[in-house]
Chain A
Amino acid sequence: DSGVTQTPKHLITATGQRVTLRCSPRSGDLSVYWYQQSLDQGLQFLIHYYNGEERAKGNILERFSAQQFPDLHSELNLSSLELGDSALYFCASSVGGGEGTEAFFGQGTRLTVV
């Protein structure tokens, strides 16, 4: 158990809908990262938050947004869903936002858009 909790584990929704994925980081971790893994693809970095502030954006679509709350949990909002958004979405957390410290991953949310 990495200590990172993601809910829900599975989500099936229709095209055009909006969903929210939730992540609770490990106790004490200030950084939260979101990654997308599509079929046969690697882990694509979406966005990084550190202590409530956005630190970096990767290949995140404009239809997607995220935030980190004062209690450090994070939510990834996906709207106007398309079939191609079907993927595994991983959240990871680490202690800091500075030099490389390993990130710990949750078990992921599998999103299926039908």
Chain B
Amino acid sequence: GIQVEQSPPDLILQEGANSTLRCNFSDSVNNLQWFHQNPWGQLINLFYIPSGTKQNGRLSATTVATERYSLLYISSSQTTDSGVYFCAVPHSGAGSYQLTFGKGTKLSVIP
């Protein structure tokens, strides 16, 4: 099946700093999702981004499908950004929609 690698595994930021999280995947995909898991365990949809760039407030994401990676940018980080960020892609195989998740990047934003 498809492999998803995220880096870095852990990241500590001072409030107000910017960061870039990376997601590499081993096979071509036709969609990719970024999630934020907050400290209460909820999975929040951030982006559905099979290719190109999208922005939502202080967050933006870019997927370069031909090179099999996606980046999540967080600007002017806030303590509420803390949590784990996952990327997920569909499993390899025609007609398969199950998502394969990476192990996540644990972000801690300190005041």
Q: Do A and B bind each other?
A: no
**Chain A residues within 8 Å of B, Cβ to Cβ:** none
